[in-house]
Amino acid sequence: MAVCACGSGREFDECCAPFLAGAPAPTAEALMRSRYTAYAVGQLDHLERTDAPEARDEFNRADAERTAAETTWLGLKVVRVIDGGVDDQTGQVEFIFRYQQHGKIHAQHELSQFRREDGIWLYESSEMNPKSPPVRVAKINRNDPCTCGSGKKYKKCCGAA
């Protein structure tokens, strides 16, 4: 048996194969992994079947077939999952996948949106190269209480130079 292309480490027949055959994915992450695998093994019907109506309008079958034929899929890494569990109605999956095309290796970073309709997870949209939330740095004034919890003023504790 072959290891699944989705990067789960599980056997293909026990991982994405049932979803490619039409079984509903239990989570948004499982759907996203199966969609990557669909590209990797050339089963593009799965992509169309799991697109939400608004995504289906943007799906170009000829472009997808050309991309799948010209591409060697090198791996998928899930960065984070927000909701999208078995009891959720919406979810987000952030991931990075690597591929080789025309002799060059590329990586693509995406944040995909999913929703459940009638118990079935569907792909809505993706944002390429999502930005992480801005880092906020709190300025501590000299007379503020020290952040270490000592009860002293910052200038007399951790802020002493």
| pLDDT tens profile 150-161 | 888 887 888 776
Minimum mean pLDDT range among 28-37, 69-78, 120-129, 139-148: 139-148
The reply to whether 156 and 122 lie within a common domain is no
pLDDT per position as a tens digit, 66-116: 988 899 999 999 999 999 999 999 999 999 999 999 999 999 999 999 999
Whether residues 140 and 83 share a domain: the answer is no
pLDDT of residue 118: 94
Considering the domain architecture, whether residues 91 and 126 belong to the same structural domain is answered as yes
Which domain range does residue 147 map to? 132-160
Total domain count, the chain: 2
Mean pLDDT, rounded, of the chain: 91
86 and 123 co-located in one domain:
yes
Q: What percent of the chain has pLDDT over 90?
A: 71
DSSP structure string for the chain: -PBPTTSSSSBGGGTTHHHHTTPPPSSHHHHHHHHHHHHHHT-THHHHHTB-HHHHTT--HHHHHHHHHHEEEEEEEEEEEEE-STT-SEEEEEEEEEEEETTEEEEEEEEEEEEEETTEEEEEEEEESPPPPPP--PPPPTTSBPTTSSSSBGGGTTT--
Asked if 83 and 156 sit in the same domain, the reply is no
Same structural domain, 75 and 145: no
pLDDT, mean of residues 116-125: 96
Give 139's pLDDT tier (boundaries 50, 70, 90).
confident
The whole-number average pLDDT for the span 114-126 is 95
Q: Give the CATH number, domain containing residue 80.
A: 3.10.450.50
Same domain, residue pair 121 and 143? no
